[in-house]
């Protein structure tokens, strides 16, 4: 896709006219007069997801009742959805299972991975997403594993301990992309294992996990995958080690023959062993339907457009004197940009009052998420126009905009 930083709104519209992903916008139900820059937190609703939920609720559940576990294939939906997700991860279709939440899945994988490592050590950096840190510490408290929280950037060297490292492939604050291949080479030499949190990576960057040597990963599906609020998460485990992994939560649907109702647990083959209880079929159906928006779409084009959109944002932020913690090299930056301002929260609220949705992370970070399947270049141009006006005029400086809500 030809790219340059537009000099005007008309220039941005011309980029939209040349965009090979422009047709994807029509796949989403988007509110009128809204610029949605929070796809890195909760993706908008694809029509395919809404249609799938309607069919599941009104036909399969209301009419088919319990028989839909067989007739509608509910019993296999977690595996089928995992197979649909696998190409976005760059792994085999049989090596992904949809289940539970990211927090639960980190716990399960970390507990299962520890016995395979050279040392019983759980490693995490101090700027990782909080739930990852809480789960790591909680597992350590429940087990004989040592807990090592290391400063940002030192997780790589800490792999030398030979333990389990929990690491985001994309940093949730800065959008920095981590070199998975380099980390995995270090882990292999050290007798360590890495659990990759792909929550801010899947659906926005090209992953190629198998090619890069990744062994274990988790991720959510409600961000760039647009699976809906509270959509189930997923687990990836490399086929070379999955049979050696013992789930600490051996639920009945993770049994090799769940409807044999045997008294003793025997794990299912592959990643299916990590299923615990009965899946939420409505949310799983929505998530599965949402993946249809990626049909026929080149993930390389998605990543390239995300880089282009964020480059426009950063270039214009520079002219306003705003600082960013996001990498300036577009090849090291994923799908969002973080801008710093002491008045970040009321600025985000002032933008929302103009129909521009973004989010805030304490203490001073404004995040703009650039989801390429539905965002336009002109949306970024208009956002930066609005941001410049709000910052220049200080229209954010009102009690209404300063009032903190529970969700920021």
- CA-closest candidate to residue 124, choices 142, 139, 143: 139
Q: Which of 27, 167, 223, 376 is catalytic?
A: 223
Per-residue pLDDT band at 357 (split at 50, 70, 90): very high
Contact 162, 192 (CB under 8 A): yes
The residue written with tokens 């001073």 in the block is: 364
Q: Which of 222, 224, 236, 274 is catalytic?
A: 222
pLDDT of residue 370: 98
- Give the pLDDT mean for 16-39: 97
% of the chain with per-residue pLDDT over 70 = 99
pLDDT of residue 4: 77
Check pLDDT > 70 for residue 2.
no
Locate CATH 3.90.1150.10 in the chain. Answer: 9-30+297-402
Contact 235, 217 (CB under 8 A): yes
Question: For all residues of the chain together, what is the average pLDDT?
Answer: 97
DSSP state of 227: -
pLDDT of residue 241: 98
pLDDT of residue 5: 83
% of the chain with per-residue pLDDT over 90 = 98
pLDDT of residue 408: 86
Task: Specify the 3-state DSSP secondary structure of 3.
Answer: coil
- Give the pLDDT mean for 188-206: 98
**Element (DSSP H or E) covering residue 393:** helix 377-393
Contact 116, 193 (CB under 8 A): yes
Q: Which of 107, 129, 236, 370 is catalytic?
A: 129
Check pLDDT > 70 for residue 113.
yes
Q: What is the pLDDT of residues 246-292, one digit of tens each?
A: 999 999 999 999 999 999 999 999 999 999 999 999 999 999 999 99
| Residue 94 appears among annotated catalytic residues | no
- Give the pLDDT mean for 96-122: 98
Bond preceding residue 23 cis, omega within 30 of 0: no
- For residue 399, how many other CB atoms are within 10 A of its CB? 7
- Give the pLDDT mean for 71-99: 98
CATH number of 9-30+297-402: 3.90.1150.10
| Residue 367 appears among annotated catalytic residues | yes
Q: Which of 84, 273, 367, 376 is catalytic?
A: 367
Q: Which residues contact 304 (CB under 8 A, 6 or more apart)?
A: 1, 3
Locate CATH 3.40.640.10 in the chain. Answer: 50-294
| Residue 223 appears among annotated catalytic residues | yes
- For residue 102, how many other CB atoms are within 10 A of its CB? 23
Q: What is the pLDDT of residues 207-253, one digit of tens each?
A: 999 999 999 999 999 999 999 999 999 999 999 999 999 999 999 99
Q: Model-level pTM? A: 0.97
Contact 328, 338 (CB under 8 A): no
| Residue 172 appears among annotated catalytic residues | no
CATH (one of 3.40.47.10, 3.10.420.10, 3.40.1360.10, 3.40.640.10) for 50-294: 3.40.640.10
Q: Which of 19, 95, 100, 197 is catalytic?
A: 197
pLDDT of residue 1: 56
- Give the pLDDT mean for 149-173: 97
| Residue 9 appears among annotated catalytic residues | no
């Amino acid at each position: 896709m030809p790219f340059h930083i537009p000099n005007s709104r008309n220039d941005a519209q011309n980029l939209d006219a040349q965009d090979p992903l422009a047709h994807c916008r029509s796949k989403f139900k988007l509110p009128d007069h809204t610029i949605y820059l929070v796809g890195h937190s909760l993706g908008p609703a694809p029509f395919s997801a809404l249609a799938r939920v309607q069919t599941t609720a009104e036909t399969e559940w209301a009419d088919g009742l319990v028989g839909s576990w067989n007739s509608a294939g509910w019993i296999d939906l977690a595996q089928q959805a995992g197979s649909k997700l696998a190409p976005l991860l760059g792994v085999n279709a049989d090596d992904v299972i949809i289940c539970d939440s990211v927090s639960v899945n980190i716990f399960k994988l970390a507990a299962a991975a520890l016995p395979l490592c050279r040392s019983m050590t759980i490693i995490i950096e101090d700027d990782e997403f909080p739930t990852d840190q809480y789960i790591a510490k909680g597992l350590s408290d429940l087990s004989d594993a040592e807990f090592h929280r290391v400063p940002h950037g030192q997780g790589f060297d800490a792999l030398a301990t030979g333990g389990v490292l929990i690491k985001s492939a994309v940093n949730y604050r800065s959008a920095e992309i981590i070199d998975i291949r380099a980390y995995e080479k270090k882990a292999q030499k050290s007798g360590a294992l890495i659990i990759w949190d792909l929550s801010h990576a899947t659906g926005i960057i090209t992953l190629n996990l198998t090619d890069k040597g990744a062994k274990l990963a988790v991720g959510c599906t409600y961000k760039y995958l647009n699976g809906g609020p509270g959509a189930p998460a997923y687990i990836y485990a490399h086929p070379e080690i999955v049979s050696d992994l013992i789930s600490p939560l051996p639920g009945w649907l993770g049994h090799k023959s769940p409807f044999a109702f045997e008294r003793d647990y025997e794990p299912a083959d592959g990643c299916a062993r990590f299923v615990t209880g009965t899946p939420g079929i409505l949310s799983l159906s929505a998530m599965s339907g949402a993946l249809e928006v990626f049909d026929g779409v080149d993930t390389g084009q998605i990543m390239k457009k995300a880089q282009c959109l964020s480059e426009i944002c950063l270039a214009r932020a520079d002219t306003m004197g705003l600082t960013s913690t996001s990498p300036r090299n577009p090849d090291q930056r994923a799908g969002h940009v973080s801008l710093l301002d002491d008045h970040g929260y009321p600025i985000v609220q002032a933008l929302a009052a103009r129909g521009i949705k973004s989010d805030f992370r304490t203490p001073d970070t404004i995040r703009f998420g650039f989801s390429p399947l539905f965002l336009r270049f002109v949306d970024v141009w208009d956002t930066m126009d609005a941001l410049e006006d709000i910052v220049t005029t200080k229209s954010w400086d009102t009690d209404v905009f300063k009032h903190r809500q529970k969700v920021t």
